[in-house]
Every structure is written in C-alpha cells, then in structure tokens.
Amino acid sequence: MNGLKLAANYLRIGIMNEFQYRANLYIQILQTFIALGTGLIGLSLVFDQVDQLGGWGKADLLAVMGVFTIMGGVIRAAIQPNMERLMDEIREGTLDYALTKPADSQLLVSVREFRLWTLVDIVVGVIVLLVALSQLNWRVDAWSVLGFLSSLVMGALMTYCFWLIITSTAFWFIRVNEIANLFEGLYAAGRWPVTIYPNWLRYGLTFLVPVAFAVTVPASALTGRLTLQTWLGALALTATLFVVARMIWRTGLKNYSGASA
C-alpha cells in the first residue's frame, strides 16, 4: 500500500500548492458558472421547442448535465493535468526524473498533479443533480444509488485509461496535444444522452471515447434506465481498458528507455 501513501502525499502537496493561488478559485467559479449558464441556455432553447428529446425529459437532461459537470470536474482536477504533464515530459525527455523514483511508474505519473479548485465543478454538478432529482420526485433506492456511484467510478476509470492510452502514444508520435484537444471536443458530446446521436457516432462515443459510460450511464442509473447488462458491460469494458492501457504504457516505456539510453 506504498502506492496509496504516495498518492496521498502528492495530493497533500497539490492542495497546498493550490492555496497559493487563491485568485484562481474565483476564476474557476466564474468559469463553472459560465459553463453552467450556457448549458442551461442550450437546454432551455431546446425545450422551448419540444418537451422531450429522444425519450429524455427536461429534468432527465438536467440530471445528465449534473453528471456531465461532476465528471468534467473529476477529469480536470485529477486526470487531465497529470496526463498533460506526462505529455510534456515525454516530448521534452524529462520523464527520467519520475522513472528513477522507487514506485510503480504508471501510478506515479498518474497522481502527481491535482487541481483543487476544479472541485467547484463537482460541487455545482452535485447541486444541479439534486435539483434535477427533486424535479423528478426521486426516491432513494439502493439499486440506483449503488448503480450510480459504481458506474461513476467506472466511468472515471475508463476516461483515465483512455487518456493514458492517448498520452502513451506520445512515446511514438511527438505531437499528441492535438489529440488531447480532440478529447475535450468529444467530451462535450456528453452534455446530451448518447442515445440521441446517429448510430455510428453513438458507437464511437461508447467504445472509442468512453463518453457514454462516463456520463450517460451514471445518469441512466439515477433516472431508472440502467439495465444489468449495461452495468456488466461497463465493468467488462473498464477491466479491458485498464489492461490495455497498462500494456501500452509498459511497451511505450520500454521504447522510451531504449531510445534515451
């Protein structure tokens, strides 16, 4: 459990660091509210015209937006900064410092950065979600809460694996920042349930970029749409992605050490 201790340590340092830049908190709050505001405007424009979209009502879509905001906060707080740092280090050849430390390299490169203030997104996302649930007259039941929490964790894990795979390609292709941009664009698709997209796009958003599992599936759990098959599918995909990501990381690392030696 050395790894967990290490992660906790980096987390502590990251938080202390963030406290030095408190002005960023206000900027983050503003950004979160702008994103929320434009999201709500988009929703209300749609619901000016119709009262449901692909079987999802207004409150359902509000719940999707809540989950989207929460997951976005998790990605920007913990996943993206680590992966962006890793990309830079691979490109500039300064990864060696991290590799010489006595810990699992994958774990190490995944926990070094933490952006505390983006947690504002999570707080706001939770509030939006609660508002949506109250509009839905939602009643607590074990299956949907467990389904929601577990699929949220799996969604975050899948997103992490996806990022790691993309980032690891930097061992072979130098300019991968554009691919990172691509993800940001595609993640925005999660604002809407993936069921409204045409088939080819839906499959892409489910299996190539796990947006469906990151946002739509957890939201389905809360709105009573999650089936056991989907849940098991998510579990299987998480495990597969994790194994694949680790393999690609290992191969890339070997490639890297070979080149710099």
Nearer to another protein by Cβ, of 148 and 213: the residue is 213
Per-residue x/- track, 23-62, another protein (CB under 8 A): x--xx--xx--x--xx--xx--xx-xxx-xxx--------
Segment near another protein (CB under 8 A), from 154-162, 194-202, 232-240, 251-259?
A: 194-202
Nearer to another protein by Cβ, of 34 and 145: the residue is 34
Residue type, 44: S
Exactly one of 1, 137, 200, 258 binds another protein (CB under 8 A); that residue is 200
3-state SS string over the chain?
CHHHHHHHHHHHHHHHHHHCCCHHHHHHHHHHHHHHHHHHHHHHHHHHHCCEECCEEHHHHHHHHHHHHHHHHHHHHHHHHHHHHHHHHHHHCCCHHHHCCCCCHHHHHHHCCCCHHHHHHHHHHHHHHHHHHHHCCCCCCHHHHHHHHHHHHHHHHHHHHHHHHHHHHHHCCCCCHHHHHHHHHHHHHHHCCHHHCCHHHHHHHHHHCCHHHHHHHHHHHHCCCCCHHHHHHHHHHHHHHHHHHHHHHHHHHHHHHHHHC
Per-residue x/- track, 4-23, another protein (CB under 8 A): -------------------x
Q: In angstroms, what is the minimal distance from the CB of 217 to another protein?
A: 18
Per-residue x/- track, 68-97, another protein (CB under 8 A): ------------------------------
Which residues have CB under 8 Å from 185's CB, separation 6+?
none
Nearer to another protein by Cβ, of 92 and 142: the residue is 92
Nearer to another protein by Cβ, of 53 and 132: the residue is 53
Burial of 137 (0-12, 13-18, 19+ CB in 10 A): exposed
Chain residues 153-192 in contact with another protein, contact rule CB under 8 A: 175, 178-179, 181-182, 184-186, 188-189, 191-192
Q: In angstroms, what is the minimal distance from the CB of 34 to another protein?
A: 5
Nearer to another protein by Cβ, of 27 and 130: the residue is 27
Nearer to another protein by Cβ, of 103 and 186: the residue is 186
Residues in the chain: 261
Exactly one of 198, 228, 258, 259 binds another protein (CB under 8 A); that residue is 198
Residues that bind another protein (CB under 8 A): 23, 26-27, 30-31, 34, 37-38, 41-42, 45-46, 48-50, 52-54, 175, 178-179, 181-182, 184-186, 188-189, 191-192, 196-198, 200-201
